[in-house]
Structure 1
Amino acid sequence: MNKLGSEVSPYLLQHKNNPVHWEPWGPEALERAKKEDKPILVSIGYAACHWCHVMEHESFENEEVASIMNAYFVNIKVDREERPDVDMVYMEALHQMGLNGGWPLNVFLMPDQKPFYGGTYFKRANWIQLLHSIHNAFKNNREELTKSAEGFAVSLSENASFFAHTDLNEISLVIPAAVNKIKTALDPIFGGINKAPKFPLPSLIQFLYTLPASLSVELGVPVLAQTWLEKMAQGGIYDAVGGGFSRYSVDSEWFCPHFEKMLYDNAQLLSAYTKAYKRERNPLYQEVVFDTIEFLKRELLSPKGLYYSSLDADSEGVEGLFYTWTYEELAALNNEEFLKTYAISKHGNWEEGRNILFKSSPVLNAYFKKEMAQLMDWRKLRVRPGTDTKEILVWNAQLVSAFLEAYQVFGRPEDLSSAIELLNAIEVEFKSGSIWLHQASYAKEPIYAFLDDLSALSLAYIQTYLQLKASAYLAKAEAILVQIQQNFSHKELALYAYRSKKADFLIAEKVEVMDSVMPSSNSMLCESFLWMGILSNKAEFTVEGREMLSQILDRAIAHPAYFANWLRVYSDWVEYPKALLKYGGAVEGLVEFDWCIDKDQLVFIPYEGMEGYLLCIGDYCFSPVKSLDEVDKQLATLI
């Protein structure tokens, strides 16, 4: 019997009518596998996943396939966004098997949850063949499968031998070499990593845009970074009509997206384009920021004041149908310049005679304001893609920080209001007593917040404190960091486990360190510790952050593109640290205070309990002084 009908995950509910006897991840299904001595099939995906839908239609809705699965396996469906910890373990298992990852992720486990084989999308015939092969192997070669599963389970465990230690006090400059290494992987024509499919990688963009301006110019970064952001904004990956970015482009030119839109991409890209605008004052970046914020509020804002997870790629069973256009539709706008600007073809520039809006030059979409308004009106008559209505803590917390950053740069009061309203909603919806939750709604048992949830939230509180100067936000950030120290510490590492010690059993506890489409939970936490050390004047937090950096820097140097958030934190706090000016009492003259180091390298911080100013560079502080003239003299010693 299919047991997904009482779930809250839209992805799981998509499968509630499959003839497969799906069960949610939990003790009931896991115990049944042991009791009946059956292998487990764990099938992992997410609501906006195109190939997940394809495999569902081809295989999981098919009676013949379902009968085989039901007879031979305990079948468990997992929403990777609801249980990222489960996904993390079994995606790593797939990599250990020498296979490429992706979704849907289908992994076969022994009854004790240990994996022995897996893959991603399978065509129906291949899937049926595989199911029979797995059944026969489990029946006739049990000992061999058990041995293989034991080996994979051992390889999934983290230990100190995987992480080298680097003495931060003895290492020479690493950022210039890391940037030069990253540059060799970048596409000089269209920007981004030089391969397809092509993902935006916001952490890498933000790292490049937070380098000191003089160093950035010296290393030749500005042209590469500008190309990257302009080409994405011109490409089909950006929704010229409605705002917001799709998850990735299937080609190397940002032309054809996989049309799903994710909250986590758009929250981070808001920050990336805001940082870029602050440095370049490119009006195209401002348009992207403003239109993406409008998209998020129009399409993903929930009645609770939180933001939903994503929009599907498909509508009416067709990928991209909502976002693409026939020539006849676009010709009805009666504007030849529009057709040329957006590379419109009479026969379609994409599949089935349809057109993706794709600009060959960085013209503003606002130049065609009338046409865009007409297309938006026509789009309202279409069937909308499905919305994944899960509300996830980490992505909402990241959006708080993005709203705050937009307010700091553009000065729009509504962006500050959006940040505070969202933070207030987070406090209401994601907290149960003193316990933070991963998602606002759940089916049976609450899911405790993961490390990325709490790390992103602590940063959101810190940024809110820096903006509003209200000490209550700093106290909340510190309370979260203390919870993390108590519940997520690793017995061997300065890094932290992804899951709380209170979480349910998994065969391995992972330590997330790579910055990919999202900054890693540990890199966000490291930044929180370093901020808290300065803001609370508690050296133990600073020591904690530096220890984390020392344990990861060796990997970051070797693979800089995939440790970009770590490198940004290291650059900001160790190699090219910002000047943090703590002030108490009179604040006259702060806004006008200027000096010859890059302006965005100076951060003003309220400091209760003192009169005057305290200048800190990284984790070193000068002696307190009473006037800005004396601060100016201290700054002069740095030049």
Structure 2
Amino acid sequence: MKQYVFGLFLGTLFLVGCQETQNKMEHKYTNALVEETSPYLLQHAHNPVDWNAWKPEVLERAKAENKPILISIGYAACHWCHVMEEECFENEEVAKLMNENFINIKIDREERPDVDQIYMDAIQMMTGNGGWPLNIVALPDGRPFWGATYLPKDNWTKSLKSLIDLYHNNPEKVQEYAGKLEQGIQAINLVENKTSKINFTKEELDLAVQNWSTSFDTYLGGYKRAPKFMMPNNLEYLLHYATANKNDTILEYVNTTLKRMAYGGIFDPIDGGFSRYAVDVKWHVPHFEKMLYDNGQLISLYSKAYAVTKNSLYKETVEKSVGFATLELLDTNGGFYSSLDADSKNSSGKLEEGAYYVWTEKELDSILGSESSVFKTYYNINSYGYWEEDKYVLIRDASDNEIADSLGITTTNLTQQIAKNLKQLKKVRDQREKPRLDDKILTSWNGLMLKGLTDAYRYLQNDKYLQLALKNANFLEQEIIQDDFSVYRNHKNGKSSINGFLDDYATLIDGFIGLYEVTFDDRWLTLAKNLTDYAITHFKDEESNMFYYTSDLDDKLIRRSIETNDNVISASNSIMANNLYKLHKVYMKEPYGEIASAMINNVQDNFIKSAQGFSNWMHLISYQQNNFYEIAIVGEAYKEIGRELGKEYIPNSILVATKDDQSPIELLQNRHVPGQTLIYVCIEGSCKLPVTSSGEVLKQL
């Protein structure tokens, strides 16, 4: 499978009125994408290809003209998407061939993951591989019959000519193949509703983790392969499993991975933030793009790991990652943008991958002077840190104490100098041309970032993080969530658009539950409940008890997908199942617990052989095997005690609190005693005798 370098493109912004007319006159070609807001789609707005966005009327035109649909899917951080545009879609001869014979549709996969899911499954069935750009040729009704990723110009035109001939001269063959492919696309999406409930045992859970651990790289962290992806949900579950089962071996693996990721070139020590993934086994050379969804999840993960270990490296990693997100991705409205490009202009003015982030030894010597020797030792300006063409990617491979000892200086002096040197490098780097920005605001990714901020506040106790979380939550409530509790997928230039998908609801609900647990403002928990009820009404499949990825109000595609496998982002169904399980503990009269149990029952057969792909689901197994606690705080000091308990890592719990009896949460009612703050540790609403301190609560747990 090809290695893809992700790159961002800041699309042209089109003004209104005369300015818009002037812009159009400056370009030889303008197509329908000029009306879109996605930076990726806007990049193609002046291709000679007659591109359209994915819209019902475009599909109807294909049927009316009896033309096959050519669907090209990419996103702003996709390097090879830009290469193919330059080689093929900007070529007038290629465009003529495409325009005369196809209805051409461009899709930003981040805006329309529902379409991308289906055609990615299709190309993997056709070729065994996937990736972007994802190019599909389909019948006018959307059923695919050919697909490819990146193709150079000659291969692209040769393929299209063959497809045109096949479509017109052998339509029966095309129909037959499209029909069989459609059956396969439908079949791999089926989830059986398993009515006989079988509880996953402790022994089976241990076996699942044991099988999973055979792929662990216990020296460098992650998995025994390259490239290395960070997989936050994998590490978060293993942290949960290790602490719940007092498994020091698994905890050591988690710590090794977190340490190496924070040391490696994949993390930016100057401005903070993680890149997408590393191309090597030691987390050194990244694809340099920085995505909001990675950083939101990693902020959560490192915050929880800090709560468990009190490792200052984890705290620093959280602080720098939040700093990066607020510096580079935060809009004034409180929403977070999607990503930064991997490519930026080098000293010659040409776009180059990583140009903004890498250094030559000569540059470092010039900037740091007499202090460069210590810095170069710290960040391995040697064969270990070398990348290519005299360029180095900063990477550590030892702790501050170990490096200080090797240099014969104190750890304090070392850390002070490195902090000073990084500030010096930042001043120089700030003069470079910055990577380009994808400034669309995606709901689901903002939900992940909201959860990251609430976890950062909860476990690091920094009030600034709560203020950021509240600003983000207020934006989401005002601009993304509608009066009926449906949500939009996208926000750009003050306008929200595209009906939300299941991951948009699931991550928002998770984020609002987390925000409630650090504020105890009923507003956020009520909002989480209302979004959940909307999702049950419009996304739930009554036959399987799972949730469709698309709403019953959306236009029909050739398949209504059900997403169950956890990947770089957890599956929308696994996030929903966790949400439902937690909400059941608060709203016990609702059917949330029954739905969550049915969902976990449907997928648990996968755990022993495929734990990595179901790690977020496995939290629910640990909740079932170890008591899940509702911790209820009632009284004047509810916020102070809630904050004390909140900083402890207790994954199998939900915190609820109120000052008096006025909360709508049943668990908190009729428990107020004037002059006292009482804490109740409960299981399914059945509570132990109340205590008055967080220390006593921890003993009860």
1:352 pairs with 2:386 = no
Q: CA 1:476–1:602 in structure 2 vs 1: closer, same or farther (change >3 Å)?
A: closer
CA contact under 8 A between 1:284 and 1:362: conserved in structure 2?
Answer: no
Q: Which residues of 2 match residues 42-191 of structure 1 at below 5 A? A: 42-157=71-186, 162-163=191-192, 165=194, 170-173=199-202, 174-191=204-221
Q: Tell me the secondary structure at the aligned position of residue 73 of structure 2.
A: strand
Alignment partners' CA distance in 2, 1:287 and 1:623: 38
1:44/1:104 contact within 8 Å kept? yes
Provide the residue aligned with 2:33 in structure 1: 4
- Distance change (3 Å), C-alpha of 1:40 and 1:366: farther
Q: Structure 1 residue aligned with 2:238, among 183, 208, 217?
A: 208
Write the distance in 1 (CA, Å) between the matches of 2:384 and 2:567: 37
Tell me the matched-pair count.
630
Residue-by-residue CA offset, 1:373-420 (whole Å, 9 max, x unaligned): 121111111111111111011111121111111111111110111111
Task: Specify the SS of the correspondent of 1:307.
Answer: coil
Output aligned runs, 1:343-422, within 5 Å: 343-345=380-382, 349-363=386-400, 368-422=418-472
Q: For residue 12 of structure 1, what is the amino acid of its counterpart?
A: L
Once the 2 structures are TM-superposed, how far is the Cα of residue 579 of structure 1 from its aligned partner? 2.6
Q: Any residues of structure 2 matched to 1:153-302 within 5 Å, and which?
A: 153-157=182-186, 162-163=191-192, 165=194, 170-173=199-202, 174-211=204-241, 213=243, 215-217=245-247, 220-302=249-331
Alignment of 1:561-600 (within 5 A): 561-571=612-622, 573-585=623-635
Q: 2:358 aligns with which of 324, 331, 339?
A: 324
| Alignment-derived partner of residue 20 in structure 1 | 49
Separation in structure 1 between the aligned mates of residue 277 and residue 392 of structure 2, nearest angstrom: 18
Deviations 1:84-134 (A, max 9, x none): 111111111112224211111111111111011112111222222222222
Task: Supply the distance in 2 between the matched residues of 1:633 and 1:481 (Cα, whole angstroms).
Answer: 30
1:67 to 1:417, Cα distance in 2 relative to 1, 3 A: same
Amino acid across the alignment from 1:303: T
How far 1:512 sits from its partner (Å)? 0.7
TM-score, length basis structure 2: 0.84
Partners of 2:308 and 2:207 lie apart in 1 by 23
User: Aligned equivalents of 1:391 and 1:200: distance in 2?
Assistant: 23
| Residue 443 of structure 1, CA deviation | 11
Residue identity opposite 1:520 in structure 2: A
Hey, what's the Cα distance between the residues in 2 that align with 1:391 and 1:445? Answer: 9
Q: Compared with structure 1, are the counterparts of its residues 175 and 610 closer, same or farther at alpha carbon in structure 2 (3 Å cutoff)?
A: farther
1:255-275 Cα offsets, whole Å, 9 max, x none, are 111111100000000011111
Q: C-alpha displacement at 1:591, in angstroms?
A: 6.9
Q: Which amino acid aligns with 1:344?
A: I
Q: 2:605 aligns with which of 527, 536, 554?
A: 554
Query: Match for residue 495 of structure 1?
Result: 546
Match of residue 459, structure 1, among 493, 510, 513: 510
Q: Does structure 1 conserve the Cα–Cα contact (< 8 Å) formed by 2:39 and 2:76?
A: yes
CA offset digits 1:262-308 (Å, max 9, x no partner): 00000000011111111111111111100010100000011221000
SS of the residue aligned with 2:465?
helix
Structure-to-structure mapping, 1:407-556, within 5 angstroms? 407-434=457-484, 435-441=486-492, 446-556=497-607
Q: Which moved more, 1:371-380 or 1:164-173?
A: 164-173
CA distance in 1, matches of 2:243, 2:74: 41
CA distance in 1 between counterparts of 2:494 and 2:162 reads: 34
Map of 2:378 onto structure 1: 341
- Cα 1:366–1:34, aligned 2, differ >3 Å: closer, same or farther? farther
Partner Cα distance (2:531, 2:653) in 1? 27
Alpha-carbon spacing, 1:348–1:236, altered in 2? closer, same or farther (3 Å): closer
In the aligned structure 2, how far is the partner of 1:223 from the partner of 1:285? 14
Give yes or no for contact 1:175–1:575 (8 Å, CA) kept in 2: no
| Structure 2: distance between partners of 1:194 and 1:511 | 30
Matched, 1:616 2:682: yes
Cα distance in structure 2, aligned partners of 1:377 and 1:479:
47
User: Structure 1 counterpart of 2:232, which letter?
Assistant: P
Per mean C-alpha deviation after superposition, the further-off stretch among 138-147 and 350-359 is 350-359
Change in Cα spacing, 1:195 to 1:241, as seen in structure 2 (3 Å) is same
Give unpaired runs (5+ residues) of structure 1: none
Deviation digits for residues 430-481 of structure 1, max 9, x if unmatched?
1343331111238999311111111111111211222222222221111111
Match of 2:22 in 1: none
Structure 1 window deviating more from structure 2 (349-358 vs 482-491): it is 349-358
- The amino acid across from 1:181 in the alignment is N
The amino acid of 2:137's aligned partner reads: F
RMSD: 2.8
For 2:643 and 2:389, how far apart are their aligned partners in 1? 58
What is the TM-score normalised by the length of structure 1? 0.92
CA distance in 1: counterparts of 2:178 and 2:494, whole angstroms: 31
**Which letter maps to 1:381?**
Q
User: How far apart are the structure 1 equivalents of 2:225 and 2:607?
Assistant: 21
Q: Percent identity?
A: 36
Assess if the C-alpha contact under 8 Å between 1:38 and 1:73 holds in 2: yes
Shift of 1:356: 1.3
The letter of the residue matching 2:669 is G
Tell me how far 1:65 sits from its aligned partner: 2.3
Higher mean Cα deviation, 81-90 or 67-76?
A: 67-76
Deviations 1:311-354 (A, max 9, x none): 11112321111111222212212211212322225999223332
Q: Report if the CA contact (8 A) 2:304-2:649 is conserved.
A: no
Alpha-carbon separation, structure 2, partners of 1:258 and 1:308: 19
CA distance in 2, matches of 1:444, 1:505: 24
Q: Indicate the larger mover: 26-35 or 526-535.
A: 26-35
